[in-house]
Structure 1
């Protein structure tokens, strides 16, 4: 359902106020992850918080976007938005909205945010819900003077800033909780024990994950993605994961198993590179995404949980930052991970360290869950601001 508008407002179709560029997938053999060609946005998986964080490039771009476009996800996670901060190739999972001088770009952005549920309701398709160019072009937009559009944008931004201040307070609390865990890990790994390269205690791996085009998402095996875990998480029967069509050979090669450690290898943020989790148990076959790698620890030499805590420790973070390559994205490779130097005390001492750190992190995670439970009203507040703005109440 569309937002309720002020009774005096007229509307016009979005397609008359903007140019719409619907994405088209380049040929598969033109893709690469080496930074050659044009950055590709295949779908919402390449979205960042505000601007894109693409994982692939193409040497034969199809539909090109320009800096300043509003990028709209039109497939699967319909309605997600990003700003184009550069030129991109648009794959079939997205479309570009390029406004003309009759309408304010930010006004369109906020209107699309307000219409997300409506756009979702227009989705069609058995495997993947998708909206068409006709759906987007026909979306009614309030037809107001530019001055009024900009006044409404200013009021929305003013209100959103107050919400942002609340979120900053929550993030500050999150930072304090993270500092507690980091301090505990710093003390745990600040020892006189001999250090060894991580490769000496790895029994299998590291190996990189699976990349497949966004058209294969929607059904099949579960796939673990970078946003499915936090640093130091232990995954027990994870639920709510996206699904990916895989064949038997892909499942055999990329299926996760109990005891695997999964680690992020490439990201737009260096702080996220190296984020790791431990797979404890799985209800069903689960593969892992290409921006991650996985390895298994030799259980006769180290506890997997000990290694997991090490990967989240300041000692390891320093090594990640010193080894990472930063071009358009930050990344580490398999050799980098294998070369991490880890203090290796006897197994009994490792066990005691794990018990202490598990206890500290357990308390931290409980506090984090309390903060998460309070996040829903903040999201509802954002939605309320948009509703009031477009009903003429702001």
Structure 2
């Protein structure tokens, strides 16, 4: 498919205790950068970063204004002396427009701008990218805050965190075409203690995806659409043991998405998806506002297997709105590893805008209960008879 020739990134990545006026400023122009939009300035950026990382008192990496800096995929890596570093972009940063012209570190072209082992980092102002890579990757960095960003039409994942601890993501806007594959908005792996709030995300894939090792994730005030919703997984592909747990989603709006809140696992996998609460979910014309799928498969030939990722202690509270499909709730669990401890309270989902009654599919649930008004009726759940 055709993508716009640019992706504008407004990035702000801040530590909680940053004092912006501290420390020395390292200007990339002092390291040989040209800034004409044609000359590769990657080497100058890396030289400047080397001195920034050696500095001891809250240094600032400066990309000056009124210039256009062409850089290839780069990795800004710590561990740095200072735990408070500001990456300030007043000018414009671009990537080569043709993949054949990319010069990648160690021939790795997985992401355009990456930060690794950098705690307490600030990235501010605007970066203009022309890239077919993951736009921003933060790895093995702790106590990081990302806020007030806008991403437009990146053709792959937009924001990726992996092996991080202590992350706050807020006021992020992500916009990609509905038919663009693999354009996840926010993707977390092996990352713990995360807050994601006040974000508006529209993509051709998951708005937010949580895969192996994601734990203690709190999401609130999320607007998603188009896209595949908020997805736990997929987990357990190729028989792997993978886990996601302690997830809380509150105040999420799904508009025209293929799913609302989804848990997807592969047959033959191991591990668990457990201890999750989804509450105050609003659906407007989503295909499956609620879906658990232990039979996930993304290719044509899929076979039944005895093993499965355990799904346990999942609650859905106050879910309302419309479903694009008649089956608004789908809970498809394994014969050999059934879902356990599923609780649903006060849901009201109708089929499209006509107000027709929706239906539910439910299979292989142990200790499944409902309370309050539950529409559509979910046959595999029992009334808990609470007052």
Normalising by the smaller structure, the TM-score range is under 0.3
Tell me the TM-score normalised to structure 2 length.
0.24
| Greater relative CO (CA pairs within 8 A, separation 6+) | 1
